[in-house]
Amino acid sequence: MTRRIAMLSVHACPLAKLGGRDSGGMNVYVREVARALGKRGIEVDVFTRWRERYDPRIQQLGENARVIHIESGPIGYWPKMDVYDHLDEFTTKLDEYVAAEGRSYDLMHAHYWLSASVARSLAPRWRVPRIQMFHTLGLVKREVMDEDVDGESDVRVTIERQAVHESAAIVAASEIEVDELRDLYGGDPAKIHVIPCGVDPTLFRPMRQADARERLGRDQCERIVLFVGRIEQIKGIDVLLRALGRLFIRHPDLRSDVCLLVVGGALDPGDDAPETEKILELRRLVHEHRMEANVNFVGSLDQQKLALYYAAADVCAVPSLTESFGLVALEAMACGTPVVGTRVGGLQTLIAEGESGLLVPPGDDEALAEAIAQVLTDHRLRTHLAHGARDRAEHFTWESVGEKIAELYESVLATSSALEV
Ligand code: UDP
């Protein structure tokens, strides 16, 4: 019997340009999981907010997998709380669309707290079980952020709590997330399934560093430190800039041959205002540390180009304050680039300390500087970590994520039909 899944990803369109504000790992996750499920013969419709005016309503994502855009409020980028304010409209329009098409689904799989709210209304109406993946949790974010920049905390946490208790199953990206769901939200561990994220090994694979640098026209720098991600405080990019400042004070010889490439963030001022402001703030930090010649803001890149940057780098820094999984770290590892990451969330389970990367405490620019210096100056260590990283990354593919999610669907459906009998 062909299974049909309604996947809800209200604010993260799987076809969106990556690296800008609010588009990153979750978009990649939904895209890759929908494709992997589709390849297994499961029909997946991903429902997402209509954000880009010229996108058609329906776009094919892959075999058996489609993206369907649903109108809710005016088209364009909006902060998450504005998306929240239009969730009722999204829910109604989605319900109407599905009714008009005469479609029905076996199961609903929701991503992030915004989609959890829609799933809460529609799953009982459609009489289907609901599965939830949070990607990040409000209460975890609250622990590490000094202010609630998105103004979302309270409402978000309420919706998350409801989803933890009401969903038939929850997908967590790591064991650490299981602990967080249990300790902070009172989640039942029996309902939580750890399925780590994946990487596309045909796209992110080792390549000769010299070739990658030549193809990028970036052979002027002796050693490259790479940062990839959304330009937000939670990603710890300011900690990384301070670490680089320290590194140059402690190792003045490195100032002339180390550069940091910052990938991510929109550089077009009209495109994404809040992020541009953050980049201006970071540029001031660069100026304070006299690192203008060492730091280059590259802007967002597509993943084909990004693979070349990973291969060109000597080390990939992932200084996040919190990280539910950390796809960037896994992609770098798959390219054979050692990672210096923070000891938070999924990074701790992904990176084997001293074997496939180095881990430092979050927010600690001194420890980060030291770890980066170690990888840059100790050739044997770097080679050891590069091999370890590649070996470790081989365990994570989207194909196997798809397989585990498909198994989870079957077990949830078996339980829910047993309950109906
Ligand atoms: N990414 C990209 N282009 C960019 C910046 C990021 O394609 O300019 C992708 C990157 O390859 C990764 C994702 O965005 O797959 C970021 O995922 P991660 O889990 O590291 O962070 P999140 O966005 O989930 O916080």
In terms of pLDDT, which residue wins out, 416 or 252?
252
Q: Which residues pair with 193 in a beta bridge?
A: 171
Is 90 exceeded by the pLDDT of residue 187? yes
pLDDT reading at 339 higher than 60: yes
Separation of alpha carbons 361 and 364, rounded Å = 6
Looking at the predicted structure, is the pLDDT value of residue 301 above 90? Answer: yes
| Kind and range of the H or E run holding 234 | none
Residue whose CB lies within 8 A of the most ligand 1 atoms, among 328, 347, 398, for a mutation test: 328
Among 120, 163, 119, which Cα is nearest to 138's?
Answer: 163
Q: What residue's CA is closest to ligand 1, atom 8?
A: 300
Residue where the block lists tokens 């694979």: 205
Choosing from 228, 262, 298, 320 the residue with most ligand 1 atoms within 8 A of its CB, the one to mutate for a pocket test is 228
Q: Which atom of ligand 1 is nearest to the CA of 301?
A: 8
The residue to mutate among 29, 231, 306, 396, having the most atoms of ligand 1 within 8 angstroms of its beta carbon, is 306
User: Is the CB of 20 inside a 6 Å radius of any atom of ligand 1?
Assistant: no
Token output for 59: 């776009």
Distance CA 323, CA 229 (A): 11
Quote the CATH superfamily of domain 209-393: Glycogen Phosphorylase B; (3.40.50.2000)
The DSSP line for 351-377 is S-BTTTEEEE-TT-HHHHHHHHHHHHH
**Torsion over CA: 112, 12, 262, 278 (sign):** negative
Asked whether 12 lines ligand 1 (CB < 6 A), one says no
Atom of ligand 1 nearest to the CA of 325: 19
The single-letter DSSP state of residue 256 is G
Rounded Cα distance between 367 and 381, Å, is 17
Q: Indicate if ligand 1 lies below 6 Å from the C-beta of 264.
A: yes
Every domain of the chain and the residues it spans: 4-198+397-413, 209-393
pLDDT tens per residue, range 340-355:
999 999 999 999 999 9
**pTM score of the predicted model:** 0.96
d(CA 278, CA 265): 9
- Tell me the average pLDDT across 178-187: 97
Confidence grade of residue 223 (pLDDT, cut at 50, 70, 90): very high
CB 137 within 8 A of CB 181: yes
Task: Determine the pLDDT at residue 149.
Answer: 67
Q: Which CATH architecture has domain 4-198+397-413?
A: 3-Layer(aba) Sandwich (3.40)
d(CA 269, CA 296): 17
Percent of the chain with pLDDT over 70: 95
Question: Which has the minimum average pLDDT: 53-62, 128-137, 361-370?
Answer: 53-62
Average pLDDT of every residue of the chain = 93
Residue 73 Cα to ligand 1 midpoint, Å, equals 27
319 CB less than 6 Å from ligand 1? Answer: no
